[in-house]
Structure 1
Amino acid sequence: MYFFSGGGDLRVIGKQAFYFCGMDSLQLPDSLEVLDESAFFKCCNLTSVVIPPNVRYLGKWIFHGCNRLQYLEIRHDPEFIGEWIINKAATIRCYKGSKVDRYCQQSGFKVEYFS
């Protein structure tokens, strides 16, 4: 598992920061606010990711090209969600009626709802 440490100071993961990285799991810190464009593009071994509640910006293609990604969990409504954040084969888990749900419906992504 790959996780970030540093006393909760990490606020931004920049463009292509982990492009084509071989990590198979990921734990993002609660301090995170921005996942910029293509941050984890083509991280082909990732299978699931949970977006922390303070993330307000999800750039385009952040997990696109992650061919093994099955689930992306988003339990809040970020201010911005870019295009194609995942591949069509993956599923976004969110709350029914949320901004994330509307994004999934408009983009044609598979969705599962929290109860």
Structure 2
Amino acid sequence: MKEIGSEAFYFCGIHSLELPDSLEVLDQSAFFKCNNLEYVRLPQNVRYIGKWVFHGCNRLKVLEIRHDPEFVGDWIINRSAAIRCYRGSKMDRYCQNNGFNVEYLD
């Protein structure tokens, strides 16, 4: 699987998410309002993260992104969640510029 389309899992009740390494695109609102998700780690090959991908996931605590995607849209998570990334990375700058909580990887 290379792409998860727009609103593919909109308001879905999934509790956990294991995305395949082959994934490259998360289109806008792909997991919008999946209220049972608490943690997501994106595979290294994801190059496109559309706006609102995990927005509205009220229990999401951490979105871990260990690489720098080519494109990251607006409001990919709620402000109550954190993006876990490397200090000084493109994702770190995204968090700083957009007021998101950030947790740093070692």
TM-score, normalising length: structure 2? 1.00
Identity among equivalent pairs (%): 71
Whole-angstrom CA distance in 1 between matches of 2:75 and 2:86: 19
Whole-angstrom CA distance in 2 between matches of 1:58 and 1:100: 11
Whole-angstrom CA distance in 2 between matches of 1:77 and 1:90: 19
What is the correspondence of 1:50-69 to structure 2 with a 5 Å cutoff? 50-69=41-60
Which residue in the other structure is 1:3 paired with?
none
Deviation readout 1:38-92 (Å, 9 max, x if unpaired): 0000000000000000000000000000000000000000000000000000010
User: Where does structure 2 lack aligned partners over 5 or more consecutive residues?
Assistant: none
Q: Which runs of at least 4 in structure 1 moved beyond 2 Å after TM superposition?
A: none
Name the SS for the 1:105 alignment partner. helix
State the AA in 1 paired with 2:71.
F
Q: How far did residue 95 of structure 1 move?
A: 0.2
What is the correspondence of 1:20-35 to structure 2 with a 5 Å cutoff? 20-35=11-26
2:62 to 60, 63, 71: 71
Whole-angstrom CA distance in 2 between matches of 1:12 and 1:101: 24
TM-score, normalising length: structure 1? 0.92
State the AA in 2 paired with 1:19.
Y
Whole-angstrom CA distance in 1 between matches of 2:48 and 2:102: 20
Which residue in the other structure is 1:103 paired with?
94
User: Is 1:15 paired with 2:9?
Assistant: no
Q: How many residues align?
A: 106
Whole-angstrom CA distance in 2 between matches of 1:109 and 1:28: 23
User: Is 1:43 paired with 2:40?
Assistant: no
